[in-house]
Amino acid sequence: MTAANRMGVDIGGTFVDVVLEVRDHVTSAKVLTTHAASEAAILDGVVQVCTTRLGLRRKRSARSSTAPRWRPMP
């Protein structure tokens, strides 16, 4: 069986849980739910698990202060 990368999101009343499975390693994050815009909490959780597990960090672009760019951590 081929190893799969999977991500799961659970939006609850208080927290959004995000789980990332890369090969056989599992990383998770718990973020406060943003009731007005739950997508913001989901994206925050995705950023947390990606930076933790995949060794990525967010760097602001010089062209735009709002557009994030991703690159591997040194």
Kindly state whether residue 17 falls inside one of the protein's structural domains: yes
Task: Give the predicted TM-score (pTM) of the model.
Answer: 0.68
Kindly state whether residue 1 falls inside one of the protein's structural domains: no
Residues whose CB is less than 8 angstroms from the CB of residue 65 and which lie 6 or more positions away in sequence, other chains included: none
Per the structure, the complete domain to which residue 31 belongs is given by: 6-72
What average pLDDT does this structure show over 56-62? 59
Given a contact cutoff of 8 angstroms between Cβ atoms, the answer to whether 3 and 24 are in contact is yes
28 or 70: which leads in pLDDT? 28
Kindly state whether residue 13 falls inside one of the protein's structural domains: yes
Residues whose CB is less than 8 angstroms from the CB of residue 2 and which lie 6 or more positions away in sequence, other chains included: none
Kindly state whether residue 48 falls inside one of the protein's structural domains: yes
Q: What is the DSSP string of 16-64?
A: EEEEEEETTEEEEEEEE--TT-HHHHHHHHHHHHHHHHS-EEEEE-SS-
Domains of the chain: total: 1
15 or 34: which leads in pLDDT? 15
pLDDT, tens digit, 9 for 90 and up, residues 25-50: 899 999 998 888 889 999 999 989 98
Kindly state whether residue 46 falls inside one of the protein's structural domains: yes
Of all residues in the chain, the percent with pLDDT exceeding 90 is 35
**Can you tell me whether residue 13 is helix, strand or coil?**
coil
What average pLDDT does this structure show over 9-35? 91
